[in-house]
Structure 1
Amino acid sequence: MSSFSYAIAGQLAKRLSRRAGVFKDIYYTAGFSEPFDAYLSRCITAYLFTAPAVTITAFVLHSLILRYPPLFSAILTFLLLIIYSLLFLAFVLYYPVYRRYARGLKIDSRIPYTISYFAALAAAGMGIEALMERIAEVEDVKEVAREFALFLTDVKVLGFDVLTALERRSRMSPSIMLSLFFAGLRDTYITVGNLYEYAAFMARRLMELKRYTLRSVLNSISMVAEVYITLMVAAPLMFVTMLAIMGMLGGTIAGFPPQLIILILLIVGIPTSAIAVLLMLDGILSRV
């Protein structure tokens, strides 16, 4: 698929890649294994194949099924094609940003413990390359292990020196915490060279930040629990009781019978509220 799409849109992808700017850096910090040009060529090829299908389907729907005049069908088809193009472009641009953000969250939730282990190994007098290699081997979270393995790739495969490799990892890490750690590790390596003192200091600070984050998460979960009780228990009970009384008295609300509003509340309102609460919990727990 990659070779096929690159053969179709490779030249256009190269021209767009030279103008990508910051987005290209975001792409490489998102953890993709394929080059940026290959990603662009795949997206362009997908659009070239799907856009005609969307256009033909929309025109057939408007002209043959809905029986609109040909000119009106063409205008509606063109508008739908514009909407599809904008949505496709938004997905192409947003997906690497979302993936970078997700990787950063995974790294941030794990990095205090990783740096603590780094400090314990540094206390034994291990060199920086041996430290990186050991952490890349034993780290359970693959996103963290990948960042340390990339340092080894820069040094052993690409031939960069330790300082340049640390600067590259600091610049290309999706996690602000890990980026700061690599930047500080580079400065420590240049100046005093005591990796243990620096790693222990960073571990203590990140553990304090972790405890603060956990307290914040607990407070947020308590707030979500109160919202859940209000939306899922108290509010439906109150509204159903009020609407049932209005139904017995023969009243209406904006011309709709209370029985219909109760049905909408039970079928649409309560499930929607439950989904909203689940999304809130997912957003809060993703920081842990």
Structure 2
Amino acid sequence: MTNSYFVYAYSLFGKHFKQRKDKYYNLRMDLLKNRMNLGYDMYLSGALLTAILSTVLILLLFNLILFIFGVPDLPGSRLMIPAWMGWLVPYKLLIIQFFGSLLTIAFCMAVIYKTFVFYPSIMASNRKRNIEQILPYAINYMTAMSGAGVLPVELFRSLALNKIYGEVSTEARYLVRDMEVLGKDLVTAMKNLAQTTPSPMMQEFLQGAITVVTSGGELEPYFKIKTEQYIVENRQRQKEFLETLGLLGETYVTAFVAGPLFLIIVISIMSIMGGAQTVFLYLLIYAIVPIGSIMFLVVISTLTPEE
């Protein structure tokens, strides 16, 4: 169903994006690193069609809300409307519909389309983090296999079939595909994988393995050295993550627990005394605190390594 959708979108907009191949080089690389198996022109065609359909639905919803609830009848002085514009007041519904529709179209089209454009980069970053999290243990597995006398080709094939190693197994499957389907040798397949993997750590590991294979050396000692190196680096990253998490926790308590409570008390007292408007209190409770909490959840979720 998804492929059919992108194929249909490509039939509508494919020619437009196909003529701009150089412009979308970074997107093409992100799609490769994310293993999405979609051409950049087909992917962008689907993004544009989705943006158009979503914008139409949101525009209909916007006008439906105006039709049902109308426009609030606010005094002109509150809106700071000049007297010479008073003749426009009877047409305020049409004016809001027109300009609101234009803003809705521009905003929704830009946000939805740009979200699609940046999505592969975000997912590639997630894959990078997941690969580097599990790579030391995958190399340890390869060390044991190599010590048992398993040939390098069979070693990567075994890793590709072992799904317990997550994204590392996915990368290995693409290496095996290059050898078995495309007929490439092991060194060429490793070079291709090193160029398209989102993880600099895995790229460095593969380049070292290429050097060992081409020079006729043994892979087992190399795997042992890399396992010890990456485990030490992984522990260091985990330590840094815990320190960052502690700092974020202190920031959250200060900015969105203690700070808002203090402001709520101050604004409430000033409101009772007639020195402040309750709109600031509503804004703090229903907008700033929830949005800030959601932003912290997104940041922590982004920084947290996958198991």
Q: Shift of residue 141 of structure 1?
A: 4.1
Is residue 25 from structure 1 mapped to residue 29 from structure 2 by the alignment? yes
Aligned mates of 1:60, 1:23 — CA distance in 2: 35
Letter in 1 for 2:130: K
- Relative to the length of structure 1, the TM-score reads 0.80
Mean Cα deviation higher: 73-82 or 186-195: 73-82
Is residue 137 from structure 1 mapped to residue 161 from structure 2 by the alignment? yes
The one of 163, 166, 170 equivalent to 2:187 is 163
Aligned mates of 2:104, 2:282 — CA distance in 1: 34
Please tell me whether the aligned partners of residues 142 and 155 of structure 2 are also in contact (alpha carbons under 8 angstroms).
Answer: yes
2:40 is matched with which residue?
36
1:230–1:207 distance in 2 versus 1, CA, 3 Å: same
Is residue 216 from structure 1 mapped to residue 249 from structure 2 by the alignment? no
- Structure 2 matches for 1:164-179, cutoff 5 A? 164-179=188-203
Letter in 2 for 1:119: T
Letter in 2 for 1:215: K
Q: Shift of residue 77 of structure 1?
A: 4.8
1:272–1:54 distance in 2 versus 1, CA, 3 Å: closer
Mean Cα deviation higher: 69-78 or 270-279: 69-78
Please tell me whether the aligned partners of residues 114 and 139 of structure 1 are also in contact (alpha carbons under 8 angstroms).
Answer: no
Q: Shift of residue 83 of structure 1?
A: 3.6
1:17–1:223 distance in 2 versus 1, CA, 3 Å: same
1:252 is matched with which residue?
275
1:268–1:80 distance in 2 versus 1, CA, 3 Å: closer
Is residue 118 from structure 1 mapped to residue 142 from structure 2 by the alignment? yes
The one of 186, 198, 205 equivalent to 1:181 is 205
Q: Shift of residue 280 of structure 1?
A: 3.7
1:150 is matched with which residue?
174
2:132 is matched with which residue?
108
* Alignment root-mean-square deviation, CA: 3.4
* CA distances 1:193-239 after superposition (whole Å, capped 9, x unpaired): 21111111111111111110111112122223323433455334444
Is residue 285 from structure 1 mapped to residue 304 from structure 2 by the alignment? yes
Please tell me whether the aligned partners of residues 52 and 109 of structure 2 are also in contact (alpha carbons under 8 angstroms).
Answer: no
1:127 is matched with which residue?
151
Letter in 1 for 2:185: D
2:116 is matched with which residue?
92
* CA distances 1:149-170 after superposition (whole Å, capped 9, x unpaired): 1100000110111111010000
Aligned mates of 1:232, 1:103 — CA distance in 2: 31
Mean Cα deviation higher: 41-50 or 277-286: 41-50
1:60–1:182 distance in 2 versus 1, CA, 3 Å: same
Please tell me whether the aligned partners of residues 33 and 196 of structure 2 are also in contact (alpha carbons under 8 angstroms).
Answer: yes
Aligned mates of 1:77, 1:90 — CA distance in 2: 20
1:88–1:237 distance in 2 versus 1, CA, 3 Å: closer
Aligned mates of 2:140, 2:109 — CA distance in 1: 47
Stretches of structure 1 that go unaligned for 5 or more consecutive residues are none
